[in-house]
Copies of this chain bind each other. A is one copy, B any other.
C-alpha cells in the first residue's frame, strides 16, 4: 500500500530559524518538522514546502506535505506533532490530499506581508520593522501600482543569471493603520529577496528618495543597484499559498 499524502498548514516564528529549507548543522523549519514526523510516526521522509523562506522570516499559514505511513486520524496529527515540536512551530491543520499533491509545484500563488511601523514597537518588535522616517503612504501606493502585473523583476533580486526573472505580481496592497503599514503581495512566484527589496524600494519612495514613476525605469533597468535596500527579514511573513482546492488566502 502506498503511503498517505498529508498536507499540513503550519505557523512559525522565523526568528530562531535559518529559514525553511534543511541545511546541515543549522536549525530550519523543514528540519524540525521532519524530526517531529520521525519521532511520532517512526519514519524519515522529506517534507515538501510551498517555497523557501529566508532566515528570520515568519509564516502564518505555510503549506507543506509529506508521505505518511500511519493510520492516525488526520484530525489528531496536529496535536501529535505539536507534542514534540518546539514552541516556535505550530500545526494548524492536517488533512489527506491526493497522492500527487505537491506543495511547491501545485501552488498557484503565494502571499506575503511585510509590516513597517513609523511608530516604535516593543511588544511586536519581532514581527514589525520600525522605520524612524516619515513615510508618505499615498506615494508608496502610487509606486506599487507600477509593480503590479507581469514583469521582469531582475532589479529586485540579488540573484545573478536568474533563469526566469518573470513574475506575475497579482496583488500589491498597502494599508496604513495608525502608522502600522502593511504591504501585502501575492504572486505566482517570487525571486530571492524580492519581497524585501520591493518593500525597501517602496520605503524609499515613502521617504521621498525615489519618485513613484521611477518604478518603470527600475524595472526596465534589470539592475539590482537601481532598486532600494533589502528590508530586514523579521518584518516579513509568508501568509499562505493558494491551491486549486484552497482558493482563499486571507
Contact = CB atoms under 8 A, between A and B. Distances in A.
A152 to B, nearest CB: 33
Copies in the complex: 2
A127 B123 contact: yes
A98 interface: no
Interface string A86-118: 011111100000000000000000000000000
A117 to B, nearest CB: 10
Contact of A60 (B91, B120, B123, B237): B123
A13 B90 contact: no
Interface string A118-131: 01111101110000
Contact of A122 (B78, B90, B123): B90
A91 B121 CA distance: 9
Nearest to A127: B123
Contacts of A121: 11, 90
Contacts of A78: 120
A12 B122 CA distance: 5
Nearest to A15: B123
Interface in A23-58: 58
Interface string A221-250: 000000000000000010000000000000
Contacts of A122: 11-13, 87-90
Given A13-B125, A87-B125, A125-B13, A120 B82 contact: yes
Contact of A90 (B120, B127, B237): B120
